[in-house]
Structure 1
């Protein structure tokens, strides 16, 4: 009888503990409202609304989340989704919005879009993201050619927006006089411009702008524009074109406070009017269609070196000068990259001379990363390595070569690095799986060197966890 009572008490205690454990597992619901609002703000509005079915505790939360993310995703019934958006905006009662994102791909009256944007503006929105395609029409180059959306004039009087992102079939049409008093980040991606003055006019109304990204296509009808922002610290320019004939453009840049610069795409004429004394990092990726170099005989050497000379104060430089043959080599002299400590370079048969020229003018380089982007040495554009010692940075401590194939010019280059880099600590050589590791080891082990501490590490693409380390003679 005593044992039975003890067993009953034990079971009751166990049930109580299990019940308490179940209650305690829903710890998220016990968090304060302000923290739950913050968590829900990272979800698309559709998913945030769906949390209302979890319990009575969650039911009213989404209507006070300071973020709205509305996406139609090419809805088959845009009229129904339009009603849903109006319903969501009517129920949502957050007094202010940290973020408002509207992504629209279906036919829709501009009146509805204007109304929704004005709702965001009325709630003192800080981050406004608009990606709008009023229909899905594209040409053979997959460029949007459908109906365009004109931004409402009320947007340009907003004093609270800090981040503005515009993408898709949107026309930029700023008024002659306005001011985004708080705007710090501006991203323009593949939009249209009413005239060549739209970008300068927009930027003139952004007195505290720090971060600008402009991604353009050949269909925006603007071949010349100016970027004049003295407060700008980060600048990203991307120019894409898929037309058979090469595009043309001219960009004049006045950004004396610039710290980060990135360019990618087809390089034409980019002019910096002030010395970039504060530049920390730069990244340049050049690409062009085959017909542009073959049919139109466009070569990039002079343009590449001209752009590099403007970036010579950078501490960190990532460079892909392009994979098309450069006939007009140009020259980087008399520029010196005194501040450069890290260089990432994507090498092709046609741009070895650019890499070698950079190494000769970077006396304080510490890290060199070379990524190879070809499988043979046809049309090799090679510049002989200097015989005189001391041309390479004496401070080079790290060298990585991704794609080493034991080709003659690659062997010469690695041998040169080992010979000249007196302070080299680590060299990592990544080898394609088709190569024999024995042959590579034999080649590397024959290199003489000055450093007494350098350890060479080789890795194979088929064995991401299989590292092979060897000591090199003289190291």
Structure 2
């Protein structure tokens, strides 16, 4: 009888513990409301609303979340989704919005879009992200040719927006006089501009702007604009063109406080009016069609080197100067990259000489990351390695080479690094699957090394 009673008590205790454990597994529901609002703010609004079915505890939470992320599903009827957006805005009662994101791919009356954007503005929105394609997005050429949505005039009177991102089929046509007193981050990607002065006019109304990104489709030639912002610290410029002739644009940049610069796409005329004395990092990715480089090869190469010379104060440089023979025209000299400590370079047969020239003008270089973008030696543009010692940075500690295939010039280059890099600690060589790690390692181990602490590692690449 005693054993039976003890057994029953044990079972009862076990059941109680298991029940408590099950209840205790939903610890997230016991978190304070403010923390749950923060968690839900990382979800699209559709998914945040769906959490209401979990329990009564979760049912009212989404209406207080300080973010709204409304995404049109173009597979559904736009009329029904329009109703959903109005319904969400009516139920959502957060007094202010940290972020409002609207993504739209369907035909829609501009009145509705204006109303929704105005609703965000009246709640003192801080981050406003708009991506709108009223005719369903871009075609195969990556250019949107549909109807454009003109931004409402109420946007230009917003005093609280800190981040403004505009993408797609949006028409930017700012009034002559306005101001975004709080705007620090502005991103414009493949939108349409009402006039040639639209960008300059917009920027002039942003007195505290720190981060600017402008990515344009060069559908029209003769583009000319200025970026003049004394507070700007980060700048990304991108020009994309899918036309048979090279794009024609002129860009003047007045940004004396710039710390980060990125350029991507097709290079034409870029002029920096001040020395970039505060530049820390620069990223350059040049793209040119084959016909452009064959017809315009001389001036195209000159512009590549002109841009590089303007960036010679950078401490960190990521560079793909192009894969066409046009790069053979021009020179990086007389610029010295005295501050450069890290170089990330994408090498092709046509730009080896650019890499070698950079190594000779960067006396404080510490890290070199190479990534190879070819698998043969056609059109190889090579510069003879210097015979005199001391031309390579005496501070080089790390050398990485991705895509090494034991081609003759690659082997000679690695051999040169080992012979001249006095402080080299690590050399990592990534090879394709067709090569043997042991064979490559044996080859490299035979070369003389100036550094007594250098560790060579050979890895299979992805």
What TM-score, normalized to structure 2? 0.97
Cα displacement (A) at 1:4:
2.0
State the match for 1:132 in structure 2.
Answer: 132
Partner SS state of residue 86, structure 1? helix
State the match for 1:175 in structure 2.
Answer: 175
Partner SS state of residue 423, structure 1? coil
State the match for 1:308 in structure 2.
Answer: 308
State the match for 1:78 in structure 2.
Answer: 78
Whole-Å Cα distance in 2 between the matches of residues 18 and 114 of structure 1?
54
Cα displacement (A) at 1:327:
5.7
State the match for 2:65 in structure 1.
Answer: 65
Deviates more, 1:322-331 or 1:87-96: 322-331
What TM-score, normalized to structure 1? 0.94
Contact preservation (8 Å) 2:400, 2:427: yes
The gaps in structure 2 that reach 5 residues or longer are none
Contact preservation (8 Å) 1:193, 1:221: no
Cα displacement (A) at 1:300:
3.4
Whole-Å Cα distance in 2 between the matches of residues 48 and 70 of structure 1?
11
Cα displacement (A) at 1:443:
2.8
Q: Indicate the RMSD between aligned Cα atoms, in angstroms.
A: 1.5
Contact preservation (8 Å) 1:241, 1:266: yes
Whole-Å Cα distance in 2 between the matches of residues 75 and 247 of structure 1?
36
State the match for 2:275 in structure 1.
Answer: 275
Partner SS state of residue 300, structure 1? helix
Contact preservation (8 Å) 1:270, 1:307: yes
Partner SS state of residue 329, structure 2? coil
Cα displacement (A) at 1:166:
0.2
The C-alpha deviation readout for 1:226-284, integer Å capped at 9, x for no partner, is 11111011111111111222111111101100001111111111111111111111110
Cα displacement (A) at 1:117:
0.2
Whole-Å Cα distance in 1 between the matches of residues 221 and 171 of structure 2?
12
Whole-Å Cα distance in 2 between the matches of residues 59 and 182 of structure 1?
35
Whole-Å Cα distance in 2 between the matches of residues 137 and 100 of structure 1?
21
Contact preservation (8 Å) 2:321, 2:327: no
State the match for 1:156 in structure 2.
Answer: 156
The C-alpha deviation readout for 1:14-58, integer Å capped at 9, x for no partner, is 221111111111111111111111111111100111111111111
State the match for 1:390 in structure 2.
Answer: 390
Deviates more, 1:363-372 or 1:298-307: 298-307
Contact preservation (8 Å) 2:279, 2:313: yes
The gaps in structure 1 that reach 5 residues or longer are 463-475
State the match for 2:427 in structure 1.
Answer: 427
Whole-Å Cα distance in 2 between the matches of residues 149 and 376 of structure 1?
48
The C-alpha deviation readout for 1:275-316, integer Å capped at 9, x for no partner, is 111111111011122222235546632111111111111000
State the match for 1:259 in structure 2.
Answer: 259
The C-alpha deviation readout for 1:95-135, integer Å capped at 9, x for no partner, is 00000000000000000000000000000000000000011
The yes-or-no answer on 1:347 pairing with 2:343 is no
